[in-house]
A and B are shown apart, each in its own frame.
Chain A
Amino acid sequence: MPAQIGTQWLSIVPIAASRSSYDGLLVFLFMVISGTLAAFAIHRLASDRLRRAPAWDCGYPDASPATQYTAMSFAQPMRRVFGTVVFHAREHGEMPPPGDTRPAQLEVELSDPIWDLLYAPLVTGVGFAADHLNRLQFLTIRQFLSLVFGALVILLLVLAVWS
């Protein structure tokens, strides 16, 4: 960052000041001052009284566990919007024929692409490596010492070549 040299303390200028520049500290100070100013002005000039009461909740004060907001409910709009595109949502409805006493079933199947594409390969790779490296724990002392010695030589070689 050539433009960074010679600029003020804690300000970031990636290319040139006319293109983009940031000063995180200044913005933070700016926010602290305006927030404190607002709090001070309101508490001084208006009211600072406070009363504790049950949550209003638009007139439904007795929340039952069934209506409580959960992580699942928080994600629901997101899942619904991105469901078919990103999460490959599939619904399987199962309606038993007349005379069958089983209840009808509705299953929603979602797959998380981040898990499938990023974490799952990583987990598989680590598992594969762990399985195969497990044999190293059952070496004889002679084999083990030569392994340590070989590793040391290789590391020193790497260090010598690198520096």
Chain B
Amino acid sequence: MVVIRDFAIQGAQMLLVLSLAPLFTGFVRKVKARLLRRQGPPLIQPYLDLVRLTRKEVVLADTASWLFRIIPYLVFAATWVAASLVPTFRTGLLFSWSADLIAIIALLGSGRFFLALAGLDVGTSFGGIGSSREMMITSLAEPAMIMIVFTLALIAGSTQLSTVAEFMASPQVGLRVSLGLALVGLIMVAIAENGRVPIDNPATHLELTMVHEAMVLEYSGRHLALLELSASLKLILYVSLLACLFAPWGIEAAGALAPTLAIGVAAYVGKLAVGGFLLALFETSIAKMRVFRVPEFLGVALMLGLLATLLRFVSGSF
């Protein structure tokens, strides 16, 4: 009985992130449009786009290999699994013990590796540009992310997200300098990894500035739908990660009873709304960077992560 309930809760978490991901993307787009005094597309537009794309036929390039066709499913599976391992409304889910934060980063990393391969597969120059730029951004963002994970692991004594979230919710965390540095660093990494505005513009179709969009340029139909859904899932994953690490209020503890489940879900949706609003606000207030300014941006994130880890090593009270 307990196992069935745990299975149901894990399944609910998977379905929750999957069903909320397009809505979240739509929400960010809507807020951005309203901040620019435009009407903006309706909130459910990403769902409509997904349905439209899945109904269309796939136009596959002559030069595409078999890898090109299975990569959307691979990327989607890796991102969905990673997103369902991050605690959203409840910690200590059934499968949360099967992978910790480092494994989640590795899952996202393998998804990105395959996407870069897909960019190169057809042999067009735009796909190549996208892949090489994505790899450049990743080579800077991933070390920063790992340093931030080290900081969190040193403070919480664990890389297991459920344990870290419970520790962060407990009063023994206190106010720490290294946590602040890690928060800023993680936000910068999240912006870079999701290709948001100062790094990459998700709405652009100006070829020379594209990164993520250039890699998926040759995709169409259901493949493109899966990749767009994966991008939404990745965005919601990073916001959930930030929420469960730095704002773990309202997350239901592992052994809690049913009535608090609703509170957990409501708190999660509230946190998503706040996160989406802040993201849209940040994106409208800043201009996109040139590609070769990105290393400076991510270098700052890496320095913050390094500094946080060092401070934590030097003195336990930081």
- A contact residues vs B (CB 8 Å cutoff): 11, 17-23, 26-27, 30-32, 34-35, 38-39, 42, 45-58, 60, 63, 67-69, 73-78, 80-81
Q: Report how far A153 CA is from B97 CA in the complex, Å.
A: 54
B193 at the interface (CB under 8 A from A): no
Q: How far is the CA of A42 from the CA of B292 in the complex (A)?
A: 39
Residue-wise interface mask of B (15-26) relative to A, using a CB-CB cutoff of 8 A (1 in contact, 0 not): 000000000000
Q: Are B157 and A19 in contact (CB under 8 A)?
A: yes
Interface pair A38/B77, CB less than 8 Å apart: yes
Interface string of B275-317 (1 = CB under 8 A from A): 0000000000000000110010000000000000000000000
**B115 interface contact, C-beta 8 A:** no
Asked whether A77 lies within 8 Å of B159 as measured between CB atoms, the reply is no
Report if B103 contacts A (CB, 8 A). Answer: yes
Which of B1-9, B129-137, B182-190 contacts its partner?
B129-137
Beta-carbon contact of B103 and A55 below 8 Å: no
Q: Once the chains bind, are A56 and B61 in contact (CB under 8 Å)?
A: yes
B136 touches A77 (CB 8 A): yes
With A19-B159, A42-B222 in contact, is A50–B98 under 8 Å at CB?
A: no
Name B's interface SS: helix
Partner of A53, one of B61, B80, B226, B295: B61
- Between-chain CB contacts (< 8 Å), 20 pairs: A17-B97, A19-B160, A20-B100, A20-B159, A22-B100, A30-B81, A34-B76, A35-B77, A38-B73, A45-B54, A47-B222, A50-B58, A56-B124, A57-B122, A57-B124, A57-B125, A69-B120, A74-B120, A78-B136, A81-B140
Least Cβ distance of A55 to chain B in Å? 4
| Cβ 8 A contact of A57, one of B100, B126, B136 | B126
A55 and B128: CB pair below 8 A? Answer: no
Known contacts A19-B158, A34-B81, A52-B62; is-contact A69 B123 (Cβ 8 Å) = yes
Contact in complex: A42, B103 (CB < 8 Å): no
Q: Would A47 and B56 count as touching, CB distance under 8 A?
A: yes
| A39-B73, A81-B292 as given contacts; A18 in contact with B103, CB under 8 Å | no
Starting from the known contacts A27-B81, A52-B60, 7 additional A-B residue pairs (CB-CB under 8 Å) come to: A21-B98, A39-B73, A47-B54, A57-B217, A74-B132, A74-B135, A81-B140
Instruction: Flag if B217 contacts A58 (CB, 8 Å).
Output: yes
Interface positions of B from 40 to 63, Cβ below 8 Å from A? 51, 54-63
Q: How large is the interface on B (under 10, 10 to 19, 20 to 34, 35 or more residues)?
A: 35 or more
**Using a CB–CB distance below 8 Å, which chain B residues touch chain A?**
14, 51, 54-64, 73-74, 76-78, 80-81, 95, 97-100, 102-103, 107, 120, 122-129, 131-133, 135-136, 139-140, 157-160, 163, 207, 217-218, 221-222, 225-226, 291-292, 295
Residues of A within 8 A of B14 (CB): 34
Q: Give A32 to B70 CA distance when docked, in angstroms.
A: 12
Contact with A75, one of B64, B132, B222 (Cβ below 8 angstroms): B132
- Tell me if B125 and A81 are in contact (CB < 8 A): no
Alpha-carbon gap, A143 to B72, bound state (A)? 67
User: Given the interface contacts A22-B99, A42-B226, does A51 sit within 8 Å of B160 by beta carbon?
Assistant: no
7 closest residue pairs by CB, A with B: A69-B128, A35-B77, A46-B54, A49-B57, A55-B61, A23-B98, A57-B124
In whole angstroms, what is the CA distance A57 to B127 when docked?
8
Give, as a whole number of angstroms, the nearest-CB distance from B21 to chain A: 13
Residues of B within 8 A of A60 (CB): 124-125
